Structure formats: C-alpha cells, structure tokens
Amino acid sequence: MPNIGVPGLIIVLALALIIFGPSKLPQLGRAVGQTLKEFKTSTKEIMDDVTDEFKLEDNDPESKKKK
C-alpha cells in the first residue's frame, strides 16, 4: 500500500467532511478508534496464544522424542 502523504490525507478528510458532515465526524472517529483498538487487542491475544503454544512445544519432552 503506497503512502498517502499530506495532500492525499487532506483530500480524504475533505471528502469525509462533505459526505458525513461536521456533526458525524467525531462519532465516526470514535468508531474507527474503537475498531482499531479491538483489532489490536485481538491480534495481540492471538500472538500471545501462538507464542505460548510454541513455548509449551519446546518444553515438552514428548515432542523431542518424536524428532
């Protein structure tokens, strides 16, 4: 994905202002922020689970015998 840059960001913000209006932009921003926060939390939990699974697999003597 290419970088948007400042001019592209200004265009996106202007379009959002025209489409949603000034009263809906704070609500839209909060919704996007909450969605990103939930996504980040979910991916962190998944990464922690996978990391824990690999740690358990490395410490398991049964898995070393199979190799």
Res 57 pLDDT > 60: yes
pLDDT category at 60 given cuts 50, 70, 90 is low
Altogether, the residues listed in the chain come to a count of 67
Res 63 pLDDT > 80: no
**What is the chain's mean pLDDT, rounded?**
85
Res 58 pLDDT > 70: yes
Whole-angstrom distance, CA of residue 3 vs CA of residue 7: 11
More reliable by pLDDT, 60 or 41: 41
What contacts 57, CB < 8 A, 6 or more positions away?
63
The separation between the first and the last C-alpha atoms of the chain, rounded to the nearest angstrom, is 41
The predicted structure's pLDDT at residue 44: 95
Whole-angstrom distance, CA of residue 33 vs CA of residue 40: 10
